[in-house]
Chain A
């Protein structure tokens, strides 16, 4: 699904994001990306999303070399992925339904009827079909995150990137989110989750990739968080 070949990224201000990192994630995997801040986790995500370009190395997505992808093709690449953020990034004036439908509407050319059935389906997956007319301020943190997951998967992406999705949530709510992510993963979507949540990583027993100072220092199947962080 994703392959990094000796990828290096140094920012203009001299900060090193990644150094000659090799990462290979297969189709359908569930991967935790951990490491202290500044280890290169965000750089990794930004490189996949084509927000930044690597200085060196090659990046493949779904077998396609995206290292030097033309700017104009980036939106189409992003339609193959879903992204979930710690701060949810919902539009406050829109209802739950509108927030999710928005992701399909801006692509254009999709009939309203199809949008409706898609939105209802993903709201069902995250368990929010009864709250589709509420606005974000009426929802709890966990519910907001579920809306944002629904939005991320509405394109039926092969890859879901979750950037600290439980960062703002209490442990119980975090588990709800993790169950949904696991369910999405079981449907065949590759999930990459950046996290600092030791408990979640230890209990889920999934592949763990640990970064430090821009290098992969650990890559373990059924791994744990590893250190007290």
Chain B
């Protein structure tokens, strides 16, 4: 009896105030789409910067001329002992020269002109996390027998900063939008409460418990949030799939390698949207009930 009563009342209210219901759903959809865009941006920037890190987590350490092999081995084990270092590869000057020749391709013969190889012996260090780069660089700088340490500090820092900015701005925007949606839903519930004043007062006098009176309204708000969540997840899915297909066409294929897959975006955003959507709905109705329903 109680469950069927609650469901019946809920849908009756939703239909009775259909215009406000529509407004509530729209505001939830708008909020969640913005959230989705930020979510997609952050996920993709993380993915792209992860890809970039794979290229830029390498630190090149040039070793001074004439250091004996034993000392090079000691240096290598010192470096590998540092926190954040995943791998240290020793690269002789000859190997380095070969690499250049390969990179230069057809122009590689120009390098044949050198009587003596001008390149130094070096270590190529791979870091576990990009955040360790400054620490590792400063530690290596203190070591004996090192000529120069090279890494792409600026680029790495920029990626981290951009990603952080998007997260912060996104978070602020989302908090504001959630507040607006909650407010609109709480207004819808207020209308539902007002249109049923008499009924609520009767229920009170015949001894309905306050939760019995409240449930249909809480459910109403939650359903508004849920419908908004499912709609916006659909919109995000189709829009992202379209964008993804355009970007992964040949022209942009370089970038596409790092884009997050459509399925992952859809699955993650669906869970996120349903949680936040129904949360907004429930919160909106509860605030309204607290304010306007004295039971």
4 additional A-B pairs beyond A102-B206, A105-B5, beta carbons within 8 Å, are A78-B205, A78-B207, A105-B1, A109-B1
State how many residues of chain B have any CB contact under 8 Å with chain A. Answer: 16
The answer to the question of A15 belonging to the interface, with a C-beta cut-off of 8 Å to chain B, is no
Q: Which residues of B contact A (CB under 8 A)?
A: 1-2, 5, 198-199, 201-210, 212
Bound-state CA distance A49–B210 (Å) is: 15
Let me know if B202 and A76 touch, CB within 8 A: no
User: Across the interface, do A91 and B205 meet the contact criterion of CB distance under 8 Å?
Assistant: no
Residues of B within 8 A of A103 (CB): 202, 206
- Contact B202 A102, beta carbon cutoff 8 Å: yes
Contacts of A49 in B (CB 8 A): 205
Chain A residue with Cβ nearest B203 = A106
A contact residues around B208 at 8 Å (CB): 75, 106-107
Q: Is A79 an interface residue (CB 8 A)?
A: yes
A91 touches B199 (CB 8 A): yes
**A207 on the B face (CB < 8 A):** no
Residues of chain A whose beta carbon lies under 8 Å from any beta carbon of chain B: 49, 71-72, 75-79, 83, 89, 91, 102-103, 105-109, 151, 155
| Contact across chains for B207 and A79 when beta carbons are under 8 A apart | yes
The number of inter-chain residue pairs (CB within 8 angstroms) is 47
Q: How far is the CA of A92 from the CA of B274 in the complex (A)?
A: 37
B5 / chain A contacts, CB cutoff of 8 Å: 105-106
Complex Cα distance A151/B207, Å? 12
Residues of A within 8 Å of B199, CB to CB, are: 91
CA distance A106 to B1 in the complex (A): 9
Q: Give chain B nearest CB distance to A102 CB in angstroms.
A: 7
What are 15 residue pairs bridging A and B, where the CB atoms are less than 8 Å apart in the complex? A71-B210, A75-B207, A75-B208, A78-B205, A78-B207, A79-B206, A83-B205, A89-B201, A91-B198, A91-B199, A91-B202, A105-B5, A107-B206, A107-B208, A155-B207
B198 contacts A89, C-beta separation under 8 Å: yes
Complex CA distance for A102 and B205, rounded to whole angstroms? 12
A182–B81 Cα distance when bound, in Å, is 97
A146 to B95, CA, bound (A): 104
Inter-subunit contact A78/B206 (CB<8 Å): yes
Distance from B17 Cβ to chain A, minimum over Cβ atoms (Å): 16
Question: Which residues of chain B are near A155, meaning CB under 8 Å?
Answer: 206-207
A144 to chain B, nearest CB (A): 13
Nearest B residue to A78 via CB reads B207
Q: Are A151 and B206 in contact (CB under 8 A)?
A: yes
Minimum-distance CB pairs A-B, first 4: A79-B207, A78-B207, A103-B206, A106-B208
Residues of A with C-beta under 8 A to B204: 75, 78
Residues of A within 8 A of B212 (CB): 106, 108
Smallest Cβ-Cβ distance to A83: which chain B residue: B205
**Whole-angstrom distance between the Cβ of B155 and the nearest chain A Cβ:** 62
Residue from B2, B201, B203, B205 having most chain A Cβ neighbours under 10 A: B205
A79 CA to B212 CA, complexed, in Å: 14
A122 to chain B, nearest CB (A): 13
Q: In the complex, what residues of A have CB within 8 A of residue B203's CB?
A: 106
Query: In the complex, A119 Cα to B198 Cα: how many Å?
Result: 21
Provide the residues of chain B in CB contact with A109, threshold 8 Å.
Answer: 1
User: Smallest CB–CB gap between B151 and chain A, Å?
Assistant: 65
Q: How far is the CA of A78 from the CA of B205 in the complex (A)?
A: 6
Bound Cα distance A77, B209 (Å): 11
Q: Residue on B with the closest CB to A79?
A: B207
Residues of B close to A151: CB separation below 8 A: 202, 206
User: Closest residue to A104 on the B side, CB-wise?
Assistant: B206
Most buried by A among B198, B203, B206: B206
Contacts of A78 in B (CB 8 A): 204-207
A191 to B202, CA, bound (A): 19
Q: What is the CA–CA distance of A41 and B209 in the complex, to the nearest angstrom?
A: 26
C-alpha spacing A106/B203, complex, angstroms: 7
Chain A residue contacts of B210, Cβ below 8 A: 71-72, 75
